[in-house]
Structure 1
Amino acid sequence: MRPDREHDFSQYAQARIPRLHRVAYQVLGDRDRADDAVQNTLTVLYQRWSRMHDVENLDAYVHTMLVRSCLSDRRRWWAKVQLRETTPDVPVAADDPLVEQRMVLRAALRRLPEGQRTVLVLRFLCDLPVAEVARLLHRSEGTVKRQTFSGLGNLRRLFDEFARSEA
């Protein structure tokens, strides 16, 4: 790859990695697998970078690549192997006032069925419309709407349980 194109790729990738990782983590529920999904996506993007100037919405294209990478990761046999019962503790910034809310949200998302979790992440974290989520997941719009409705109801129930346990 020419040095100027490689520089353009590096600039693009560095600016997008935090958001890509956040989406992958919310879909997969595991930091290491999210890292792998982002890395796979960026590797494929690097290989295709010289053709990307024709893509109308590059961010949407890369986002679609990432979601598909996450979905294919979940289908692999080794993705179902758990070495530990719980994930190891991840250090968080103690001075961030939203830490507890984020931890509760992540724990609640992990308790949702995969389909509901994926739909909620794509709809609300990624701010995608129903039609785009349906296209990405190869599901009908009705299924996406139903999973959104069910997922939000389950999240409300989980938040209520958390609030009762805290009281």
Structure 2
Amino acid sequence: MASTAKASVEADYLEFAAARSSALFRIACLLTGDWHLAEDLVQETLGKVYVSWRRVSAADSPSAYADAILVRTFLSYRRKRSSSEMPTGSLPDRGYAADDPGLRLTLLDGLARLPERDRAVLILRYWEDRSVEEAAEALRMSPGTVRVRSLRALRRLRRLLGDQLPQLAEC
């Protein structure tokens, strides 16, 4: 009987992991700007989700829970990384469909130049279309902090993009 329950739990986890891996990878690519590091973050995140699967599966939104683990894993990595390492500025050419690829690359470059927490706020709020409360929970910030960071990060992004902003506003 216990082995049947364990098999059911594992099957649920495997189904979740298969369904959520692509979205986690997309978020990780946006956070890191590095395809290989994004793969590592997703693998580590899915490992943490597996270890905590009973708690994750009982959450109101297991996907949001997994996203929060991914963002915290990314921020932890950034704190631990030595200052001698330099991130790359290129993202993989897979999975992105846009009307204007040049504009998308410009936006991704601008995001990569933002501080990590600002980048995480913008990605969760606008790329992943999360509410302020969901982003706050994932980032372990108050909703007010998420709002302020969103505003400031958008201002920084606009300054970084300069004269490419009118094109961005039309998209």
Percent identical across equivalent pairs?
34
Q: In the alignment, which of 111, 114, 117 is matched to residue 115 of structure 1?
A: 117
Tell me how large the CA RMSD over aligned residues is. Answer: 3.0
Deviations 1:13-59 (A, max 9, x none): 11111111111222222222221111111112222335544333211
Residues 92 and 99 in structure 1, CA contact (< 8 A), matched pair in contact too = no
The alignment's TM-score, normalised by the length of structure 2, stands at: 0.76
Superposed, which structure 2 residues align to 1:66-145 within 5 Å? 66-78=70-82, 80-82=83-85, 86-87=88-89, 90-91=92-93, 97-145=99-147
**How many residues are matched?**
162
Residues 20 and 63 in structure 1, CA contact (< 8 A), matched pair in contact too = yes
User: Unaligned stretches of 5+ in structure 1?
Assistant: none
SS of residue in 2 equivalent to 1:155: helix
Deviations 1:99-119 (A, max 9, x none): 222211110101222232121
CA distance in 2, matches of 1:29, 1:125: 15
SS of residue in 1 equivalent to 2:141: coil
CA distance in 1, matches of 2:140, 2:106: 30
Residue 23 (structure 1) aligns with: 27
Greater CA drift, 141-150 or 50-59: 50-59
- Aligned-partner residue type, residue 48 of structure 1: S
Q: In the alignment, which of 34, 40, 47 is matched to residue 43 of structure 1?
A: 47
- Aligned-partner residue type, residue 126 of structure 1: E
Residue 14 (structure 1) aligns with: 18
SS of residue in 2 equivalent to 1:8: helix
Q: 1:163 Cα deviation (Å)? A: 6.7
